[in-house]
Amino acid sequence: MPAAQRVLLRSVTMWLLLQSLLLASSLLSASAFPKGCYPSEEEGLKTFRCSNARLTEVPRDIPNDTNKLYLDSNRIPFLPRDAFRDLPLLLELDLSHNAIASIESGAFRGLAEHLHSLDLSANRLASVSKEAFSNLKAKVNLSDNPWRCDCRLQELVRTVDLAAGSSAGIVCDSSAQEEHVGKAFLQVMADTDFCNVYKKTTDIAMLVTMFGWFAMVISYLVYYVRQNQEDARRHLEYLKSLPSKQRRSEESSTISTVV
């Protein structure tokens, strides 16, 4: 075989081997992701999609250079602390249409600097502490959740930056006042300061408790005085039945004791 053909054959063989290695590497990398999840690039941004992947928790092997993360339409029930701490370049996070009912404080730690969009709509959130969103600057969508309208929700709404057009979707699913149920929370909050109502309720409860203790103390003192008076009366009657000389001595002793 001529030398030129041997060189050409060797080059083709090396190229095929290189392509095989790249394909194997790609398949190995893809197999590390949960079923239904895959990386891509959209508008120059590195994206990781796990939509409709039947996930029950946030995946651990998300590439740390991901800019957009889609975890929507899954079965994730809660967000633990540091769930996204290895994603420092994340810009958008979609967690809509899950079963999220609780969010631990620190769940979004590490995302404060870059994240500008967080979608938590259509979940099962009824009450979340404002500390869960501490230092977060992202536009947050909290609509279509079964919210309990109270002071906690009021503090949360005043802490986060709500996504445009999403505020009308924050509706009272339950409330201490029945007339609030079914109404948009911001509309209700315009007329009701839930935290002030809570403070007044707490103050009244404290006053009732203090009054109860005061009444108990007074009742005990009255009982104590009456009991002593009754004992003294019985003792005096007993003394009257004694001979006169002994009676006078005992009476003076009893009177000094009562005084």
- Of 200, 103, 202, which is closest to residue 160 (Cα–Cα)? 103
Record the tokens describing residue 24, joined without a space.
């194997």
Within its chain, how far is the Cα of 144 from the centroid?
A: 17
- The angle subtended at Cα 161 by Cα 157 and Cα 167, nearest 5°, is 60
Chain centre distance of CA 201: 23
How high is the pLDDT of residue 50?
A: 97
Write out the two tokens for 225.
């005085």
Domain 32-192 belongs to what architecture? Alpha-Beta Horseshoe (3.80)
Note whether 192 and 184 are within 8 A (CB). no
**What is the mean pLDDT of each successive set of 10 residues along the chain, which is 259 residues long?**
56 52 42 84 95 95 95 98 95 98 95 94 97 94 98 96 96 94 94 74 48 59 63 62 56 48
Which pLDDT value is given to residue 33?
A: 83
Question: Residue 92 CA to chain centroid, in angstroms?
Answer: 21
List the one residue out of 183, 182, 143, 138 whose CA is nearest residue 161. Answer: 138
The residue extents of the domains of the chain are 32-192, 193-231
Q: What is the mean pLDDT of the chain?
A: 80
